[in-house]
Amino acid sequence: MCGRFTHHLPWSEIHRLYRLTLDKDRGRNTQPRYNIAPTQSVLFVHHDKEGNQVVDEGRWWLVPHWAKEMPKATLFNARSETAPTTPAFRDAFKARRCLIPADGFYEWTVSREDGKKDPWYIFQPGGAPFSFAGLWAHNDKLGVTSCTILTAGAEEPMRQLHDRQPVILDPAFYDEWLSAETPVPQATELLKHHLDGQLQFHRVCRDVNSSKFQDAMAINPL
């Protein structure tokens, strides 16, 4: 799963990751964020009607376009195996796929010594930026734009920490994933093109267990 992640990328890195050409996506910047939690606002990239990659902002906890109230179900992650057919996600999986920029995320294990949760910071080699495969939605009735992160069964080395992990998509498949013209079966296959096997991790301080902790030292190894 993915319950927290980090994003401290300068805007130049966002431009390097994505094919951003619109004037509104130039000259922006973002504050470093070291402990992003569900329901908070995050950046995500999707295609506009002309097929351009554009940056948007939304709530990290999907609100389906048909919802009449804010969902109580846990919709900040979507299982890639069932998202194409699950009512909360299937419309978004068909036509509103997105990428969520990040440079790390957290997972927890239970300490054998005191039974408390130990946080681990997971990242790509060299701290390289990457994109979670995601879905997005806009709900006119509630006035909410939102997104969710797709997950899959964990592989090594993440399997040492948890049985699920977020899908980190290979950049070669960004445009194909984002395109509304990519049919659902093909989009499902694209999720197999991921970078999850490259992940590294180290223990970090338990202060991270509170989403209020936003210090840069959150990602430092113990």
Model pLDDT, residue 1: 83
Model pLDDT, residue 182: 97
- For residue 105, give the nearest of 66, 158, 28, 52 by alpha carbon: 158
What is the residue extent of each domain of the chain? 5-213
Q: Which residues are catalytic?
A: 2, 107
Second CATH level (architecture) for the domain 5-213? Alpha-Beta Complex (3.90)
- For residue 42, give the nearest of 88, 90, 98, 93 by alpha carbon: 98
Q: What's the pTM?
A: 0.96
Which residue positions in the chain have pLDDT lower than 70? 27
Model pLDDT, residue 27: 67
- For residue 168, give the nearest of 81, 76, 85, 104 by alpha carbon: 104
